[in-house]
Amino acid sequence: MPIQRIKIALPCLLLLLLLTLAACNSGSSTTSPPVTPVPTSSPVADEGTQLLTQAGQKLNGARTLHALANISLAGPGLNGTIKSEIWDQTPDKSRSVVLQSNIAQFAAGTLTVSDGKQIWQYNPQQKTAYHAQINASSTATPTTGEATDQSQTIFNLVRSVFTHSNATLVSSSALVNGHPVNDVAITSQAASSGSGTNNLTYSGDVFLDKTSDLPLRVSLHVQGLGQITLDLPMLTLNQQFDQSLFSFTPPPGVKVQPFPTNSTATGNLTLAQAQQQAGYHLLSIPASASTYQLLSINALGAPGNQVYTLNYQTQSGIKFTIAQSKALANLPVSGKSLSLRGTTATISTAGSAPSIFWTEKGIGIQIYGPLSSSQLTAIANLLS
């Protein structure tokens, strides 16, 4: 995708999806279309870097982009697929629509449109359109994921695939859906050198079409999040767009509301603000449990389906997150069942660390981080 200018198009699609994954983490795996690799005799690191850089330059230099994007997720909290169509025009116009989805937070038909001055997000199932002016100097941030610290982390992850990855050509004879591709294995530079532009560690493959040099598939395993596969069955650059694509008029009978805003420049909420915005009680660790420090609270995702994340740190410096949302209630989770807080919880060992998941009073709750199962259970029993 055009890496330098997708902050508005991706919140509805990839950014929000990845943010929700980061806030959810359960379940079984999903299946991507087959790849038929035929390894070369030996990896060629320099050639892989060259191919990846070349693809990034083409994407970054494009005036317009039109793509069909299929995203599959399999992590210790969320499984599903989303099919979307994206239009992007430099420097700041975009449109994306969810064509199909089996993830509740991203309803089919959801439309996000920006003309660079204002942004609309329309959910036809809820008959609601959210609207905000785009003002770079504003201290209030619409919770569409376009400018929060969390979304920037994910944005940097996507960008780093093409600009800050270690790359090695694995095969020049692989196939993706019958198309000859170069299979370039990538790892985050932070994973191998301790540097990099983000705090996420990932590894995977980028499959570049041998004719266009553009990506057909990006398959990543992100530590702590799970498996993310982005398929691009259609990707067209420098196409002429009808400018009406970037305008939106709410249909008759649709309720227009402003995007909920985070009240601080950093994007963090107080517990009282988060609970008022959520409309229900958020469980938290009591202040009397002084071994835990509350670092931040954030609202992730689209209005009406937001996931609230309470980020904590132990005295020994271990960071973990408590995620809560109505959208997470009663999601299918595989793992070990146990009795917890008067209900049944599940300890999932998928991904890099265990997580615990349960539903309480209609709210789905998950605790995840580099903690043991007994530590997760002890924290869950502390919540009030």
What per-residue confidence (pLDDT) applies to 196? 36
Locus of tokens 């509740």: 104
At 122, give phi and psi (nearest 5°): -115, 125
Q: Residue 246: is it exposed, middle or buried by C-beta count within 10 angstroms (0-12/13-18/19+)?
A: buried
The helix or strand, by DSSP H or E, that contains position 219, with its residue range, turns out to be strand 215-222
253 token code pair: 């009978």
Locus of tokens 């983000």: 198
Confidence of residue 247 (pLDDT cuts 50, 70, 90): very high
How far is residue 237's CA from residue 20's CA, in Å, rounded to a whole number? 29
Q: Is the pLDDT of residue 78 over 90?
A: no
184 DSSP assignment: E
Q: What is the DSSP string of 122-173?
A: EETTTTEEEEEE--TT-SSEETTSSSSHHHHHHHHHHHHHHHSEEEEEEEEE
Confidence of residue 168 (pLDDT cuts 50, 70, 90): very high
What per-residue confidence (pLDDT) applies to 40? 43
Q: Is the pLDDT of residue 28 over 90?
A: no
How far is residue 226's CA from residue 105's CA, in Å, rounded to a whole number? 18
How far is residue 316's CA from residue 287's CA, in Å, rounded to a whole number? 17
What per-residue confidence (pLDDT) applies to 278? 85
What per-residue confidence (pLDDT) applies to 144? 39
What per-residue confidence (pLDDT) applies to 141? 38
What CATH class is the domain 260-382? alpha beta
CB of 104 closer than 8 Å to CB of 21: no
Stretch(es) of the chain classified as CATH 3.30.200.100: 260-382
Q: Is the pLDDT of residue 114 over 70?
A: yes
The C-alpha R_g of the chain, in whole angstroms, comes to 21
Instruction: Determine the Cα angle at 325 with ends 357 and 94, to 5°.
Output: 120
Mean local confidence (pLDDT), 222-228: 70
Stretch(es) of the chain classified as CATH 2.50.20.10: 3-246
Q: What is the 3-state composition of the chain as percent helix, strand, coil, each rounded to the nearest 5?
A: 20, 40, 40
What per-residue confidence (pLDDT) applies to 159? 52
Q: Is the pLDDT of residue 135 over 60?
A: no
Q: Is the pLDDT of residue 89 over 70?
A: yes
Mean local confidence (pLDDT), 191-209: 63
CB of 188 closer than 8 Å to CB of 203: yes
Q: Is the pLDDT of residue 127 over 70?
A: yes
CB of 73 closer than 8 Å to CB of 230: no
Locus of tokens 């700041």: 92
How far is residue 50's CA from residue 258's CA, in Å, rounded to a whole number? 45
Buried b (16+ CB within 10 A) or exposed e, 252-269: eeeeeeebbbbeeeebbb
Q: Is the pLDDT of residue 157 over 90?
A: no
What per-residue confidence (pLDDT) applies to 12? 36
For the domain spanning 3-246, the CATH number is 2.50.20.10
Buried b (16+ CB within 10 A) or exposed e, 329-359: bebebebeeeebeeeebbbbebbbbbbbbbb
Distance of CA 178 to the CA centre of its chain: 28
User: Residue 177: left (phi > 0), alpha (psi -120 to 50), or beta?
Assistant: left
How far is residue 194's CA from residue 17's CA, in Å, rounded to a whole number? 27
